Structure 1
């Protein structure tokens, strides 16, 4: 059996870049493909912070429905946008080799790191970034920033902020990374940041087998650990959580953090295990955070949101 694999994607420049990347890789393997773009709820509602919308998988839900309805066969996502629990019948078909995981700070023209020494305003739509920023710079003001990458960069230019926080990989993928930026090497990224994932229907053997050939084993394992940590900590609640795992010489090195919403409280863990002992590693790291005071912190976060 052969068929044209219909690739579902959001219609932002970054999402289309990611979908075209998967399309090229599948066609290089000899598969026929077609690109189908849709607009997600997260792209349509830009006047509220994401956490206020109360929708799990706000950037992925529309594509989930399209797959379940049979409109598309697979969907390409920034993995950090994908809920840890996928809808019934949908599976993770492949994780592509991960790009840069770091966050970067993009300065408005005329601004630089000297501005951090005074009271200033920076922008981000992420609870995780906001909490980590306020932990380091409690005297700064953080304002909400929504929209796709292009829209957010324009807002930085149009507003009197010092700048805004972006994922390095997203800007690099579409050649929009400005010269005037710094890498925030102290900021722990979102779980799976920098990774692209392909989702497919569990019963679609043809598409699953095609996508499996694009899977990058180390990236899949590292992001699995990070998302396992996230899933165990969150319990369905949005919270300022960072996680990063990397594999070096057959060991997995992991860093995880949980912050209060205002950044004043920080809980962290840093551990490593041999790859052969990675089963439940992310869960075990999360449980140590929870048992060390994280459970009470998560309850406080739920009451505040």
Structure 2
């Protein structure tokens, strides 16, 4: 039964390798044999352009998709927030691991006075940029690219007040410094803090193995967030945040979603608590509500802004 070696594809950054090894260990504990294959990603090589200018959704997942479709690897491990909402033909979501910290954090240099005055903050994410400018309109936001280690180093070498990171990424590889604050007012990226493992649609062996790694609560919450994202953006990048949480006491789902203009001056938010039974279409329904309340115009303006 356990005859086949499952080849795990990953990017070669420290965080990506940590994620791959986490999946490997869980599969090994179930009795499966595995092998890790590191693949270089175009997203890691082209560091001089902001992600949204590259015109590719899923730049970090593309290389692994190619490796999978060409038969070099069997499964791939991704930060779920990097995975496009539409998977390539022939590839399926096989597991979502139990979610880690969902928050964004501000890493700073030990002095928070800069928050009160004109200052510069770094992030490569449109969502973080828009929410930051919405709260601190007198700040400047600069682009920050590269893997987590590179970005931490760039912050050290810079004159910036701070930079925004996903807490989960820094926690996973023990890079979270003492000088950080939780940005609990910032709505995270859809599926932030979760890891997704994909397999080939026709590969029953790997899918069966990964089935055991799936965390149903995380799967449901990330499904809602990604459905919200997909309904709003229709394939174009935009500043969108979404978080869904399950409340075990009364079996309800809490959801908060946000769509902002790139400069953060306009924002449309939605917040809702519903019975768990409504999860399947929740992301879609709430996104439609945003689109009807000015979201369609806002999305059109975002597209225009990004095409300039």
TM-score (norm 1): 0.98
For 2:184 and 2:44, locate their aligned partners in 1 and report how far apart those are by CA, in whole Å.
Answer: 28
- Partner residue in 1 for 2:33: 32
Matching residue of 2:238 = 239
Question: Deviation of residue 301 (structure 1)?
Answer: 0.5
- Equivalents in 1 of 2:69, 2:305: separation in Å? 35
Unpaired segments ≥5 residues, structure 1: none
Separation in 2, partners of 1:193, 1:66: 25
Post-superposition offset of 1:112: 2.3
Name the counterpart of 2:194: 195
**Equivalent position of 1:142 in the other structure:** 141
Residue-by-residue CA offset, 1:173-223 (whole Å, 9 max, x unaligned): 000000011000000000000000000001000000000100000000000
CA deviations 1:88-120 (Å, max 9, x no partner) are: 110000000000000000013xx4222100001
Mapped to 2, the partners of 1:14 and 1:180 lie a distance apart of 20
Counterpart position of 2:77: 76
Task: Report what 2:278 is aligned to.
Answer: 277
Unmatched 5+ stretches in structure 2: none
Please give the root-mean-square deviation of Cα atoms over the aligned residues, in Å: 0.7
Q: SS where residue 280 of structure 2 aligns?
A: coil
| Cα drift, residue 295 of structure 1 | 0.2
Aligned residues: 303
Deviation, 1:153, is 0.2
Name the SS for the 1:209 alignment partner. helix
- 1:104-115 equivalent positions in 2, closer than 5 A: 104-108=105-109, 111-115=110-114
Q: For residue 161 of structure 2, what is the aligned residue in structure 1?
A: 162
**Residue by residue, what CA displacement relative to the aligned partner does 1:108-134 show, whole Å, maximum 9, x if unpaired?**
3xx422210000111000000000000
1:124-273 paired onto structure 2 within 5 Å: 124-249=123-248, 250-273=251-274
Please give the per-residue CA displacement for 1:154-173, whole angstroms capped at 9, x wherever unaligned.
Answer: 00000100110000000000
Q: 1:289 maps to what in 2? A: 290
How far apart are 1:274 and its partner, in Å? 1.2
Whole-Å separation in 2 of the counterparts to 1:81 and 1:266: 23
Shift of 1:53: 0.5
In structure 2, what is the Cα distance between the partners aligned to 1:288 and 1:113?
Answer: 38
CA offsets 1:13-71 (integer angstroms, 9 cap, x no match): 00000000000000000000000001111100000110011011100000001111110
> Equivalents in 1 of 2:276, 2:205: separation in Å?
30
Between the aligned partners of 1:304 and 1:264, the Cα distance in structure 2 is: 13
Moved more, 267-276 or 292-301: 267-276
SS of match in other structure, 1:304: helix
Residue 251 of structure 1, CA deviation: 1.1
For 2:14 and 2:266, locate their aligned partners in 1 and report how far apart those are by CA, in whole Å. 36
Secondary structure of the equivalent of 2:207? helix
Report the Cα offset of residue 278 of structure 1.
1.5
After TM superposition, list the pairs within 5 Å mapping 1:15-94 onto structure 2: 15-94=16-95
Shift of 1:279: 2.0
> Residue in 2 aligned with 1:117?
116
TM-score normalised to structure 2 length: 0.97
Runs of 4+ in 1 over 6 A off after TM superposition: none
